[in-house]
Amino acid sequence: MLGPLGTALTAAVVSLLGAGLLVPASAATTEEPDTTPPQVRLDPCPEVPLGEACSQRDAVWVAESRVDPVEGLAVAGVRSGDVVLSERVYDDGTGFSPYGLWGQPYNDVVSDYDYVTETWLDGPGLHELTFYARDLAGNEASVTRTVIGPDVPRRPWRFSVEHSGPRTTVGWYAHGRGSGITDFVLRFKGEEPFRIDGGGIVANPGLGYRQISLALDRGRHVLRVRAVNLVGESTLGKVVFRVPRTR
């Protein structure tokens, strides 16, 4: 039996609960905030131990074909210090939007990707890059890597010359030193220079062979060749040869 005082207290509690001014202890427990950042791949060169510089290149990227929606990936990008070099929004709060079609630089094959972070380096030397990913709650994961930037191509070398009928084929080796060779500048002594395409010599591994077939007058010829990439031009490579009188 509740006495007059007990009956009055019970009525007061019921009144407060009905008014929403008193919350039961079980209902007052708040949910723990989410502090776990997205667990997506961020290292652009996982084959190289942390603390060592990545090999020379002009494009650096991280890509995943499938990202688990539970990761809550909202934003991903790459920055140098405080400067954001590239960034992409994957979820603005309305749902995850995958990246779509993408292909690695110097590769014609494209595929569907959920997540891609890519940046191009503008010159030689060491570049400290931070790849990061955030979720909608603002939790961030990041990996910082030092990458060796591209340089001007190596001077063309190991020239070869072959004569076949009325034509002469001149070939050489070249190395892009971290950037794909876009073209070669050729010049015969006493003539204006001309350009030919890079012949598919890509940034990695960067070593390739190029040749050109020409109809040349008989006699002595001096050919100078420069390789060109996105950074600049190589020093001159030179070959001296003679086209025979009878072919």
Model pLDDT for residues 62-98, shown as the tens digit of each residue: 999 999 888 899 999 999 999 999 999 999 999 999 9
The answer on pLDDT for 49 being more than 50 is yes
64 within 8 A of 40, measured Cβ to Cβ: yes
Percent of the chain with pLDDT over 90: 69
Is the CATH code 3.40.50.12780 the one for domain 157-243?
no
User: Which pairing describes strands 194-197 and 207-214: parallel, antiparallel, or unpaired?
Assistant: unpaired
Identify the band that residue 50 occupies on the pLDDT scale cut at 50, 70 and 90: confident
Q: How many CB atoms sit inside 10 A of residue 188's CB?
A: 14
Least confident of 21-35, 101-115, 177-191, 218-232: 21-35
What are the residue ranges spanned by the domains of the chain? 59-149, 157-243
pLDDT at position 174: 96
Q: Rounded mean pLDDT of 29-54?
A: 86
pLDDT at 14: 47
pLDDT score at 4: 54
**148 touches 126 (CB < 8 A):** yes
Question: What is residue 3's predicted lDDT score, i.e. its pLDDT?
Answer: 56
Q: Check whether 24 has a pLDDT greater than 70.
A: no
Question: What's the pLDDT at 16?
Answer: 45
Query: Would you state the pLDDT for residue 56?
Result: 67
Band of the pLDDT at 111, cuts 50, 70, 90?
A: very high
User: Is pLDDT of 133 > 70?
Assistant: yes
Tokens of 210: 């190029």
What is the pLDDT of the chain when averaged over all its residues? Answer: 87
User: pTM of whole model > 0.75?
Assistant: no
pLDDT of residue 216 exceeding 70, the answer is yes
